[in-house]
């Protein structure tokens, strides 16, 4: 089984982090290949950067999906998820989508820790978009960047633990999702300081992508996720155009 992990951020370091965690989560027989964004933000944080990355994501999967059995969207806004799911004949999983649904198997309400208060609103909208608002206990943000992670992960971890404890003590959540592609693997490092399970989207998403690939379900032939029709697009990457030729 070959899993394509796509990072629409333009930072190979983030891709490395994501792939590393994906490898750890993957089954022995799973081969992981990856692709990093060609254009756009190094670390997507604003809505505009995310919009640009929608295109980058479509281009990346168009160029790299051949021969793969499933795709993991390795950006925590699940950038372009619906588009890629529609476009490809193989299962596609968003890392945050994966964490959210996985969390639902671990308790009644989940909490989420985000990195930077600004993104809270975006995550709330993402959760609502999946129809999972009723399962959201609380969102809490800490102030930390990937750069902080490189400098001294222990400081970031301490902040995550503090936010996590509040989610448990004050918000009464049953499970904690730690968001952010650059934070992949963090749950393992802070788990023993938290009273409820902590998960991340790369770990969950890798496993769910493997699972869906193994199910060998057919591509829908009806509805808004059926294969795209034959059509000529203007000035897009040849690989995208190729997908519009069936």
What is the footprint of a copy of itself within residues 56-115 (CB under 8 A)?
A: 56-58, 80, 82-87, 91, 93, 97, 101-102, 104-109
CB of 16 to a copy of itself, least distance (A): 17
Angle between helices 12-25 and 201-215 (to 10 degrees): 60
Residue 134 engages a copy of itself in binding (rule: CB under 8 A): yes
CB of 246 to a copy of itself, least distance (A): 13
Residue 6 engages a copy of itself in binding (rule: CB under 8 A): no
CB of 112 to a copy of itself, least distance (A): 14
| E strand or H helix at 7 | strand 2-7
* Of positions 4, 7, 17, 54, contacts a copy of itself by CB under 8 A: 54
List, in sequence order, every residue forming a beta bridge with 175; answer none if it has no partner.
110
Q: How far is CA 83 from the centre of its chain?
A: 14
CB of 159 to a copy of itself, least distance (A): 18
Residue 246 engages a copy of itself in binding (rule: CB under 8 A): no
CB of 82 to a copy of itself, least distance (A): 5
CB of 228 to a copy of itself, least distance (A): 5
- Backbone torsions φ then ψ of 225, nearest 5 degrees: -115, 10
Task: Choose the binding region for a copy of itself from 14-22, 147-155, 177-185, 227-235 (rule: CB under 8 A).
Answer: 227-235
Contacts of residue 66, defined as CB under 8 A and 6 or more positions apart, other chains included, come to none
Task: Pick out residues in 138-167 that bind a copy of itself (CB under 8 A).
Answer: none
Long-range contacts of 234-242 (CB under 8 A, 24+ apart): 236/59, 237/59, 237/62, 237/63, 239/59, 239/62, 239/63, 240/58, 240/59, 240/62, 242/62
Residue 242 engages a copy of itself in binding (rule: CB under 8 A): no
Task: Pick out residues in 192-211 that bind a copy of itself (CB under 8 A).
Answer: 195-197, 199, 203-204, 207-208, 211
Measured CA to CA, the distance from residue 147 to residue 51 in angstroms comes to 23
Structural contact between residues 222 and 10, judged by C-beta atoms closer than 8 angstroms: no
Residue whose CB is less far from a copy of itself, 17 or 91:
91
Q: What angle do CA 26, 27, 33 make, to 5 degrees?
A: 50
Residue 239 engages a copy of itself in binding (rule: CB under 8 A): no
CB of 6 to a copy of itself, least distance (A): 13
Total residues contacting a copy of itself by CB under 8 A comes to 93
Measured CA to CA, the distance from residue 222 to residue 60 in angstroms comes to 25
Residue 14 engages a copy of itself in binding (rule: CB under 8 A): no
* Of positions 1, 33, 138, 228, contacts a copy of itself by CB under 8 A: 228
- Backbone torsions φ then ψ of 141, nearest 5 degrees: -110, 150
């Amino acid at each position: 089984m070959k899993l394509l992990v796509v990072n629409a951020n333009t930072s190979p370091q983030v891709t490395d982090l994501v792939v590393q965690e994906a490898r750890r989560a993957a089954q022995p027989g799973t081969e992981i290949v990856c692709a990093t964004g060609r254009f756009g933000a190094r670390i997507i944080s604003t809505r505009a950067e995310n919009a640009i990355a929608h295109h980058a994501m479509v281009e990346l999967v168009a160029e790299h999906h051949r021969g793969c059995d499933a795709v993991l969207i390795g950006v925590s806004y699940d950038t372009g998820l619906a588009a890629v799911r529609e476009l490809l004949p193989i299962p596609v999983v968003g890392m945050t989508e994966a964490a959210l649904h996985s969390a639902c198997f671990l308790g009644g309400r989940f909490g989420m820790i985000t990195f930077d208060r600004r993104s809270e609103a975006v995550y709330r909208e993402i959760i609502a978009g999946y129809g999972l608002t009723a399962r959201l206990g609380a969102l809490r943000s800490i102030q930390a960047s990937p750069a902080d992670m490189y400098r001294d992960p222990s400081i970031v971890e301490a902040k995550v633990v503090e936010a996590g404890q509040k989610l448990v003590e004050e918000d009464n959540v049953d499970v904690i999702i730690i968001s952010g592609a650059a934070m992949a693997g963090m749950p393992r490092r802070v788990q023993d300081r938290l009273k409820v399970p902590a998960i991340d989207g790369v770990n969950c998403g890798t496993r769910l992508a493997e699972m869906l690939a193994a199910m060998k379900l057919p591509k829908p032939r009806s509805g808004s996720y059926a294969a795209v029709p034959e059509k000529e697009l203007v000035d897009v990457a040849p690989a995208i155009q190729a997908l519009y030729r069936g």
